[in-house]
Structure 1
Amino acid sequence: MEQKLYLYDKRKTTIMATTDLRDTVKDYIDTADVRLLKMIKALAESYQNDQQETFTLSEEQYDMIDKRRASHLKNESQSFTWEQVKQNARKAIE
Structure 2
Amino acid sequence: MLISRGASTLRILKTLSKNGVHFKQAVRNSGHDFYYRSAIPEHKKSVILRAEIVQGLVWWWILWHLWTEPDHVFGEFGEYPDPSKWSDEELGIPEEL
Range into which the TM-score falls when normalised by the shorter chain: under 0.3
Q: Larger % of strand: which?
A: 1
Give TM-score, length-normalised by structure 2: 0.25
The structure with the larger Rg is 2
Q: Larger % of helix: which?
A: 1
